A and B are shown apart, each in its own frame.
Chain A
């Protein structure tokens, strides 16, 4: 990539930092230059977030319909999947899958709820009483 071709499309990095890129100068030698961002990248990130937000909304509705427990909603809200949530709570994925069922969730002990609440950065009450 030539130095003059380096994109300068402001995006989510704006006001945070610019990125170092390796570009070719006029003599055909490599040097570093700073870029504000690139639209191709920005759109990839935007589409990832659109998907995340849709997943959160789907999860919320599933809780409203009584098909899923609040654990499912907060897992999506915090961008987690089973391996990540398993890491933060110490529960095996197998058990987390069970806890996604409202019928199992309502009988969870305070201790287990506490682990979920810590992982999700919410209080036990917020977790227990989430109705969508």
Chain B
């Protein structure tokens, strides 16, 4: 079949994180030119921390520095009153047919994919990680035109390769998950301000008052307590690998624990302009500090997995750094929670 469709008005957007990027690019395509990555991230209450108990990923601890996959797109669109369509499939052919139909209609769509079979990624990055996101914005014969937000340029995937990554298996399997904004209404500045305030409030709630001790700011303490025991419990080699996993979860392509903290700082800077509230700049600085501290802890962790740091006191120091980060983030969110944001 000869097909050649390219949705011309679609503009590729490169971002630090894939889901922010898909959200930003799709909303901009639908005319919301004010949308930026920090705004999407903040309205979607993207900042988080969790160490999921009893679960290992790639033979290391399951840690995430961001909220659950799909939440940022869903929340940001909802805040702005944008109707969305989201679909999952049990049958790959039906998933394929639906995608094809949308592309024929000229609608760019977001897809959740696994990276293990993602052919254009460098081999070094291809682990079984199933919460990557990309946009399909056209088709040329057997090739789909792909806008992957973590890349500088657009790329393409064959029909077969795309279907394969959309039906990657294992934890967080995408099951052909496809999503796109359906109807965008009139968006006033007031609605944006409300969305920002709602995003901040929800993020305060998630980080400060989530039950259990392994998520939110307390989750950072939970990991810190684990790290103190790792050297004796796991041995130096495995402890090093575990720390490496924490660094990779922070700083892996398109994500970034430090990265996410800076992103939240950038969001609060934008929020302060929208809400005409200078106090938010002060809190933004605190997230910048937290981001810097996360990076400093990563450098220290690297000392262990490079075999330079081997003593228990090094593990204690890393654990103490994390406790310090916890108190910085806790204080920043407490300030946000007490702030009068108007809505």
Contacts and interface: CB of A to CB of B under 8 A. Distances in A.
Contacts of A84: 128, 169-171
Given A30-B266, A44-B248, A80-B128, 6 more contacts: A17-B153, A19-B16, A22-B265, A44-B247, A45-B244, A87-B173
A21 B16 contact: yes
19 contacts: A13-B125, A18-B152, A19-B253, A20-B14, A30-B38, A38-B251, A40-B302, A41-B298, A43-B306, A44-B244, A44-B302, A44-B305, A47-B305, A79-B58, A79-B116, A83-B170, A84-B128, A84-B169, A84-B171
Given A1-B295, A22-B259, A22-B265, A17 B128 contact: no
A78 B168 CA distance: 13
Interface residues of B, number: 52
A87 B298 CA distance: 33
Interface in B52-69: 56, 58-59
B248 A48 contact: yes
A17 B151 contact: yes
A29 interface: yes
Interface string A25-47: 00001101010001111011101
A92 interface: no
A51 B262 contact: no
Interface in B166-181: 169-171, 173
A90 to B, nearest CB: 9
Contacts of B269: 29-30
A81 interface: yes
A79 B127 contact: yes
Contact of A47 (B125, B240, B254, B288): B240
Nearest to A49: B124
B48 to A, nearest CB: 17
A1 to B, nearest CB: 6
A124 B252 CA distance: 35
Interface string B51-94: 00000101100000000000000000000000000000000000
Contacts of A13: 122, 125, 253
B63 to A, nearest CB: 13
A1 B169 contact: no
A87 B169 contact: yes
A77 interface: no
Interface string B144-162: 0000001111000000000
B251 A83 contact: no
B258 interface: yes
Contacts of A55: 59
A95 interface: no
Given A40-B302, A47-B240, A87 B58 contact: no
A23 interface: yes
A30 B128 contact: no
Contacts of B244: 43-45, 47-48
Contacts of B121: 16
A24 interface: yes
B320 interface: no
A120 B259 CA distance: 34
